[in-house]
Structure 1
């Protein structure tokens, strides 16, 4: 006589044991459930947008820099043209100063200028912005008498030019009793040449005086 065993109560337990013996399956990701910002295409698109924006900013900055550089170069070119024009104008106007010499008798302060010289002298003196007079003697020492004669000779020439119509404010006088001879002071002829007043007619004011008008002496 065989004994039958009912396995029905043990079936759930057997299934549970079977499931525990097999390895677990990895979770699956549903791409359709991903958020759009996390998708690969969306990330790449955002990177492209950022690169495009940076490129636009760099292009704008480069354009501004190019405009600034062009403006600076144009400004420099304009200044160079103005400077070149000023230099050209200055070169045309700047000429050598003219010097006239007035001779004197021994111990005299009387001005005697030939008529033909007077005409040219007065004409140029009226057009000159500065007339510088230097009184000289044939003295051998800086004695008070020699200084007085040198000073009075310069003053006499000044009065002569003013009387001829030269503006007094343009005239400067100075004197030197000894030294700076133009000839040998040991001879009578040399001493006659050294007794003089030099009249220097400036074609343009010196730099020290160009900023202000020539004052009355």
Structure 2
């Protein structure tokens, strides 16, 4: 009887040991890093600054590429004939042409003869893309001058669209100051700077790639 009791007690002890819940895993305190740890916060800041710097370099490269293309196009441009006294001048590099319309001081109205307007519309309608650039003779790029530059570009857009040029082919930009073609120290120079440039491109620009395969830039001028 005593042997049976001992056997029963031993079996009960074994079963009790098997029925106990497993211990939960313990965290490795050495690998824990509090969210407010100064070193951890500083590392996150450095990582964010590095990412901003990388993006900034990509944007700078895109802008440099666009400026280089614009400079090359302007250097290749040569004067072409336009009807004298029309108020419009033009330059061409063979395939693309830039027409320049000038304005009176503070004006945003295209003061062109009907025949000249028709000539501009006809030339623009043959282009695959038209870029309008409104400019002023101001030294300050403030809201008032930006508005004048915008309205000059918009006046050219309205003229072309009313003449039948598809609006999808037209891009308008403006700049309240800078990008001058002559000195603002003289009345003649200021008159040359008050303008809208109508750039007519024979072919739609095609996308190009940078050295970094993660970034692409459309070769638009």
Relative to the length of structure 2, the TM-score reads: 0.50
* Alignment partner, residue 127 of structure 1: 126
- Structure 1, residues 159-217: CA drift from partner, whole Å, max 9, x if none? 111111111111100011111111111111110110000000001011139xxxxxxxx
* Alignment partner, residue 108 of structure 1: 107
Helix, strand or coil at the partner of 1:107: coil
Helix, strand or coil at the partner of 1:133: strand
Q: How many angstroms does 1:105 deviate by?
A: 0.9
- Is 1:177 the counterpart of 2:170 in the alignment? no
Distance in 1 between residues matched to 2:135 and 2:185, nearest whole Å: 16
The structure richer in helix per residue is 1
Alignment RMSD (CA, Å) = 1.8
Structure 1 residues 1-217: aligned runs within 5 Å = 95-208=94-207
Gaps of 5+ in 1: 1-93, 210-217
* Alignment partner, residue 4 of structure 1: none
Helix, strand or coil at the partner of 2:151: helix
Q: How many angstroms does 1:124 deviate by?
A: 1.6
Distance in 1 between residues matched to 2:107 and 2:161, nearest whole Å: 20
* Alignment partner, residue 33 of structure 1: none
Q: How many angstroms does 1:95 deviate by?
A: 4.4
Helix, strand or coil at the partner of 1:141: coil
Helix, strand or coil at the partner of 2:207: helix
The structure richer in strand per residue is 2
State whether residues 133 and 196 of structure 2, in contact with CA within 8 Å, keep that contact through their aligned partners in structure 1. yes
Q: How many angstroms does 1:113 deviate by?
A: 2.1
Q: Runs ≥4 in structure 1, deviation > 4 angstroms?
A: none
Q: How many angstroms does 1:158 deviate by?
A: 0.3
Relative to the length of structure 1, the TM-score reads: 0.50
State whether residues 131 and 198 of structure 2, in contact with CA within 8 Å, keep that contact through their aligned partners in structure 1. yes
Give the count of matched residue pairs.
Answer: 116
Distance in 2 between residues matched to 1:127 and 1:142, nearest whole Å: 34
The structure whose RCO (Cα within 8 Å, separation 6+) is larger is 1
